[in-house]
Structure 1
Amino acid sequence: MKRIAQLSGITFGAIMIALSFAIAAETILRKFFSHSMGGIDELGGYAVAVVAPLAFLVTAYEQAHIRINVLHGKLPLRARAMLNVAAAVSLGLLALFLLYFTFNTVQDTLAYRSIAQTPWATPLIYPQSVWLVAMLAFTIGTIAIASRATLLAIRGDWTTLDRRFGPGSPQDELEAELADLKTRDGLQQ
């Protein structure tokens, strides 16, 4: 699972860097040469559609999503653990719903042979197929996370469940940031 999250993060970064260069080139061409490559906005839309599920997967794996935990830390261990299971399972269910929606969209595109209403007139089946694969990766990842959390709950391993799937305390976040800062300082020297 960690490897999939790492590959997703690398893919996300590479696509966004490539898109940034394309946008910069488009801007320079328009400003200084009164010329446009055309379709960069179309590529941007496809890039966001593909990288969003990959970013969601990395966020889910790293437990980096926003969770409002005002009461979480004040609850007993078992109650916190059950909330963590509910969070993991609900994220998995959301991913399944999004995959279902994505699959239906790709089926409709295939049936109607839809093309983009842009100068490139791109057959939409190509970018949407990549979107479907990215959404499938997100779904598989979140289902794996939800399965692991559920298995820990069935075993009654509340401590591991709370530690692995619970939101970190402010102290945990501070320690992680300080460790990251120390690593970055070591790399700069």
Structure 2
Amino acid sequence: MRTIKSILKLVSNVFGVVAMAFLAFLMFGITADVIARALTGDPISGVFEMSELSLVMIVFLGAMWGQQDRAHIRVNVLSNRLTGLPHRIAMTFAWGCGALALLMLAWPATQDAIYSVSIWEFRWGYIQIPIWWTKVGLAAGLWFAAVQMALHAVSALIEDEPDATTPWPEG
């Protein structure tokens, strides 16, 4: 279990760094585009299209990173009132449902990514932008997040889950 958690933490950190790079592009690219529009009246070609793709990458690659530190919004009215075995069962059920939901999204996203890569899919805007790589990133983010949530479910059943403010334990 410790090895799997370590691997998922490494993947999560890599995905998080990539998501932050796309966030940096959004901040600096859109700022530069606004300045260019103000000065010249014309946008920087491709910034709008890359901004759309960057948002996809931030959400689906950053989801796992957020989950690592329990940073997602959680409704814990019931789980805060439970202790011991009932708490572990409730958390196992919740994380299991989350993993199942992500798996139900990951499967069609993977099929779409495979098709997209097979035709080297792109979209038109001011310039032609390939989008197949974002579909691959989306599918990978969903699969890894599903595995991570499934591991959280197993971990919650075996050992009582820490509260929402405590990061995922290393061991």
Q: TM-score, normalised on structure 2? A: 0.77
Could you list the runs of 5+ residues in structure 2 that have no partner in the other structure?
1-7, 167-171
Residue 124 of structure 1 is aligned with which of 110, 118, 131?
131
- State the alpha-carbon separation in 1 of the partners of residues 129 and 94 from structure 2: 38
2:61 aligned residue = 54
2:92 aligned residue = 85
- The answer to whether 1:73 aligns with 2:80 is yes
1:161 aligned residue = 160
- State the alpha-carbon separation in 1 of the partners of residues 46 and 75 from structure 2: 40
Deviations 1:107-159 (A, max 9, x none): 34346654313232223323322333333332333333334334x1xxxxxxx
Contact 1:54 1:137 in 2 (8 A): no
Contact 1:61 1:145 in 2 (8 A): no
Q: Root-mean-square deviation (CA), in Å?
A: 2.4
> Aligned pairs, how many?
159
* Identity between Structure 1 and Structure 2 (%): 17
Task: Name the aligned partner's letter for residue 134 of structure 2.
Answer: P
- State the alpha-carbon separation in 2 of the partners of residues 162 and 133 from structure 1: 26
Task: Name the aligned partner's letter for residue 161 of structure 1.
Answer: D
Higher helix share: 1
Q: TM-score, normalised on structure 1? A: 0.71
Q: Which of structures 1 and 2 has the bigger CA Rg?
A: 1
TM-aligned CA distance change 1:137 to 1:112, over 3 Å: same
Structure 1, 137-146 or 32-41: larger mean CA deviation: 137-146
Q: Once the 2 structures are TM-superposed, how far is the Cα of residue 25 of structure 1 from its aligned partner?
A: 0.9
Residue 20 of structure 1 is aligned with which of 27, 37, 48?
27
